[in-house]
Amino acid sequence: MIGEIGVIGEIGVFVLGLCIGSFLNVLIYRLPRSLTLGGRSFCPKCKKQIAWYDNIPLVSFILLRGKCRKCQFPISLKYPVVELLTGVLFIGVIGGIRVIGAIGVLGYFAIVSAMIAILFIDLEHQIIPDELIAIGVFGALGVFLPSHLSLLTSNLLSAAGASLFFLFLHLITKGKGMGLGDVKLVFLMGLVLGFPKIIGSLYLAFLTGAIVGVILILTKKKRFGEHLPFGPFLVGSFLTFLFWGDRIIQWLTYHFF
């Protein structure tokens, strides 16, 4: 689809991604703290309201060299990272996924936006807000309902299977291994990816989670048995299979099956 919209269109999509990323930063800060989403942004240190010209995605962070204009309190690198990531993934959606129609594109924008927010909230607070799962599910309906109704039905089975498996893990580990948030997150993943990509992405999540867990224990950043949020690994694996899943499955089928 990238050929159809041209370079100007691509830049437009990237800027849209930066702006949505800026809004995601608000969600990431306020959702876990049960704050309202309205009202102006303020500096977490000096509480001064941030002027519009200091709130331009990416640009303001660079111009302010990552510090609050008033009190010089460092602004977390997380803010520009979320903005940039959203911009890049939006470009990825229009350039790297077979999408039908504008509603499909908007659906994928909603899905990747929800996933970015889930990644950063789970990393910091070990929770996955239901609102974000709902945004992702609505996005999936936008992707599949207009022209892929049969695919939606079969993907629902993948979603149910993945979440039942995680519910089982949640129950046998008495909630210590997997949270209910993870159960809902893999439902969304199955709904979007379908079979067999959901299997590959869950496998990748367990693999990367185990590798990072071992590294954290060896470097004494975490103790054995200490909780490590699994959401970021699920989101990373989901995005990997969203953009490269077809190629990965093709490669695996060619070499191993």
Contacts with Zn ion by CB under 5 A lie at 43, 45-46, 68, 70-71, 73
Residue at 252: amino acid letter: L
Give the nearest distance from C-beta 34 to Zn ion in angstroms.
23
Question: Which is closer to Zn ion, CB of 71 or CB of 172?
Answer: 71
CA distance 149 to 152: 5
- Report the 10 Å Cβ neighbour count for 183: 21
Give the nearest distance from C-beta 35 to Zn ion in angstroms.
18
| H/E run at residue 81 | helix 78-96
Give the nearest distance from C-beta 70 to Zn ion in angstroms.
5
Q: Is the Cβ–Cβ distance between 77 and 92 less than 8 Å?
A: no
Give the nearest distance from C-beta 77 to Zn ion in angstroms.
16
Give the nearest distance from C-beta 68 to Zn ion in angstroms.
3
* Farthest-apart Cα atoms in the chain, separation: 61
Question: Which is closer to Zn ion, CB of 72 or CB of 173?
Answer: 72
* Sign of the torsion angle spanned by Cα atoms 199, 168, 166, 154: positive
User: Closest Cα to residue 79, out of 96, 64, 92?
Assistant: 64
Give the nearest distance from C-beta 45 to Zn ion in angstroms.
5
Question: Which is closer to Zn ion, CB of 51 or CB of 207?
Answer: 51
Question: Which is closer to Zn ion, CB of 72 or CB of 250?
Answer: 72
Query: Treating both helix axes as pointing N-terminal to C-terminal, what angle do 101-125 and 180-193 enclose, rounded to 10 degrees?
Result: 160
User: Closest Cα to residue 188, out of 226, 250, 242, 244?
Assistant: 242
CA distance 7 to 192: 28
Question: Which is closer to Zn ion, CB of 46 or CB of 62?
Answer: 46
Query: In this structure, what DSSP letter does residue 75 have?
Result: P
Question: Which is closer to Zn ion, CB of 42 or CB of 203?
Answer: 42
